Amino acid sequence: MHLPPTPRTSSTLQLLRWIFTPMSYMDECASAYSDIYSLNVRPDYAAVFISNPDALQTILTSDTKELSAPGELNNIFTPILGTQSVITASGKQHLRKRQLVMPALHGERMRAYADIINQVTSEVISTLQIGARFSIRNVTQTITLKIIMQAVFGLYDSPPARELEQVLKNILDSTSSPLSLAAATFPIFGKVLGSLNPARDFDTLLQQADKIIYEEIQERRSSLDFEKRIDILSLLMSARDEDGQAMTDVELRDELMTLLTAGHETTATALAWAVYFIYKNENVKTKLLSELNSLGDNPDSNTIFKLPYLTAVCNETLRIYPVGLLTFPRRVEKPISLCGYNLEPGALVYGSIYNTHRRKDLYPNPEQFKPERFLERQYSAYEFLPFGGGARRCIGLAFAQFEMKLVLARMLTSVQLELVTKTKVNPKRRGLVSAPDRPIYINRLL
Ligand code: HEM
């Protein structure tokens, strides 16, 4: 197979760089090889990373007979999400699951989520003491976890909901270290690490989470009015596929776990970066506040959602430090030519979101946080793709964008904050996604 260029170092060194310093490694590879390169970072196949918009369009929109997006390639998620999650499912099953879950995260439903988002944000902000210093990611994670719990289960302040919140935080913390990723990719490494493996308590935590989720499902099944409830669990229980089939308990558990985990960590990190950049750049903060204040008291959530500068700030945040560095892998099914290289069936191709968002031809001075670039130019879906694209495009895209904007609007207009961390914060790996490399401290002034 004629593979795209790869660094002239051993597979072990490639893997170590990928696990411990992924962003600087991707920067180096993009400067050396530009649009396309391959790295030996999977136990099965070499991974081809692509950041050329035309090639991205090809891989994300090709017919599934040419490039597929099978769930078995995402089996690193199986221990948490199970085999029945939309992320781990393939082909027709994958499509069926997307069709069952998507209505709960789109359209009219967003209006109901606006109230939840505003209420939770105000409640969490009110607990921040004036003059106290706090880590912004802890705050945004508390907000997004409570929001997704409320959206999924309809209540977050009950004892089981509070317990589940804590267990989910612990599960994600235990899998956030690069060592846990190495152990999950290569189980032999996990055995060598033994009690040093940060994910050693993982099975116990997962059992605790499962117990609470299955009890909640059972309670709904035995309560006659669940069809009248409007939370995501009730919607999923009432949903029927083309053949009139409802989801099984295992399917429901796997989907809930998917939404609870994918649905809060990512947005929490994006919000933490947004707060960092807004308060680091005085002119950005001033422009944003002036746009928000022009709306008067109690603006409608849809009006906030459409604000041009707020939208540009959120886009620039997701561009500069995309939470997901890559799309899920696509597998070549028929020989295909990409950026001048012929890829044979079996090759695994990733859309490199991080590299695409740093292309100098699209984003001059890519290291600079400049929301105005999104006002000066329209980017295509293959030039700006923080939520991936095609068959596996993020199903929480609308929810996440809505949430980011409403949380920021509420935060900026109801409290005065000051950035305590003055030195530059960089992104680092957090499990399979990225996050700030150290706490970003904020002080509440008023
Ligand atoms: C800022 C926040 C978020 C970012 C940056 C993000 C990013 C992504 C990316 C890059 C993908 C892979 C797409 C691909 O391979 O083409 C993805 C998939 C996915 N996301 Fe998100 N996401 C976010 C929020 C959410 C939320 C709020 C939810 C749920 C409520 C969610 C649920 C999912 C699911 C279920 C998938 C898998 C879709 C599939 O396999 O068909 N995400 N996301």
Ligand 1 atom with least separation from CA of 392: 41
User: What are the phi and psi torsion angles at 348 (to 5°)?
Assistant: -105, 125
Q: CA 444, CA 183: separation in Å to the nearest integer?
A: 40
pLDDT on residue 116: 93
CATH 1.10.630.10 for the 11-444 domain, yes or no: yes
User: Which residue from 363, 362, 432, 430 is spatially nearest to 176, judged by alpha carbons?
Assistant: 430
Q: Using alpha carbons, list the distances in angstroms from residue 81 to 27, 145, 253, 369.
A: 31, 17, 8, 35
Burial 112-146 (b: 16+ CB within 10 A, else e): ebbebbbebbeebbeebeeeeebbbbebbbbbbbb
Ligand 1 atom with least separation from CA of 270: 1
The preferred substitution site among 350, 394, 399 for testing ligand 1, maximizing ligand atoms within 8 Å of CB, is 394
Ligand 1 neighbourhood includes 389 CB (under 6 angstroms): yes
Distance from the alpha carbon of residue 263 to the mean position of ligand 1, in angstroms: 8
Distance from the alpha carbon of residue 400 to the mean position of ligand 1, in angstroms: 9
Ligand 1 neighbourhood includes 256 CB (under 6 angstroms): no
Distance from the alpha carbon of residue 432 to the mean position of ligand 1, in angstroms: 12
Per-residue pLDDT of the chain (446 residues; tens, 9 = 90+): 567 999 999 999 999 999 999 999 999 999 999 999 999 988 777 899 999 999 999 999 988 789 999 999 999 899 899 999 999 999 999 999 999 899 889 888 888 899 999 999 999 999 999 999 999 999 999 999 999 999 998 876 788 888 999 999 998 888 877 766 666 666 655 565 565 555 667 889 999 999 999 999 998 888 766 667 778 898 899 888 888 989 999 999 999 999 999 999 999 999 999 999 999 999 999 999 999 999 998 899 999 999 999 999 999 999 999 999 999 999 999 999 999 999 999 999 999 999 999 999 999 999 999 999 999 999 999 999 999 999 999 999 999 999 999 999 999 999 999 999 999 999 999 988 999 999 999 999 98
Ligand 1 neighbourhood includes 387 CB (under 6 angstroms): yes
Distance from the alpha carbon of residue 357 to the mean position of ligand 1, in angstroms: 17
* 436 token code pair: 């700030």
Residue of minimum CA distance from atom 18 in ligand 1: 394
Residue of minimum CA distance from atom 30 in ligand 1: 263
Domain range list for the chain: 11-444
Q: Using alpha carbons, list the distances in angstroms from residue 326 to 56, 199, 231, 418.
A: 12, 23, 31, 32
pTM of the model: 0.94
Residue of minimum CA distance from atom 2 in ligand 1: 267
pLDDT on residue 365: 98
In DSSP terms, 47 is beta-bridged to: 39, 348
Residue of minimum CA distance from atom 8 in ligand 1: 387
pLDDT on residue 191: 60
* 139 token code pair: 């705050």
Distance from the alpha carbon of residue 423 to the mean position of ligand 1, in angstroms: 30
Q: Which residue has the tokens 């209420």?
A: 119
Residue of minimum CA distance from atom 43 in ligand 1: 394
pLDDT on residue 340: 94
pLDDT on residue 154: 85
Q: CA 359, CA 434: separation in Å to the nearest integer?
A: 19
Ligand 1 neighbourhood includes 386 CB (under 6 angstroms): yes
Amino acid at residue number 236? L
User: Which residue from 205, 213, 211 is spatially nearest to 171, judged by alpha carbons?
Assistant: 205
Ligand 1 neighbourhood includes 86 CB (under 6 angstroms): yes
Ligand 1 neighbourhood includes 394 CB (under 6 angstroms): yes
The answer to whether 363 and 377 have CB atoms below 8 angstroms apart is no
Ligand 1 neighbourhood includes 329 CB (under 6 angstroms): no
User: Which residue from 3, 24, 6 is spatially nearest to 437, judged by alpha carbons?
Assistant: 24
CA 1 to chain centre: 33
Ligand 1 neighbourhood includes 14 CB (under 6 angstroms): no
Compute how many other C-beta atoms are within 10 angstroms of the C-beta atom of residue 207. 10
Question: What is the number of residues in the chain?
Answer: 446
Greatest Cα pair distance in the chain: 64
Ligand 1 neighbourhood includes 70 CB (under 6 angstroms): no
Residue of minimum CA distance from atom 19 in ligand 1: 394
Handedness of CA 191, 193, 196, 202 (dihedral sign): negative
Ligand 1 neighbourhood includes 71 CB (under 6 angstroms): no
Ligand 1 neighbourhood includes 405 CB (under 6 angstroms): no
pLDDT on residue 118: 95
Compute how many other C-beta atoms are within 10 angstroms of the C-beta atom of residue 161. 19
* 8 token code pair: 């002239």
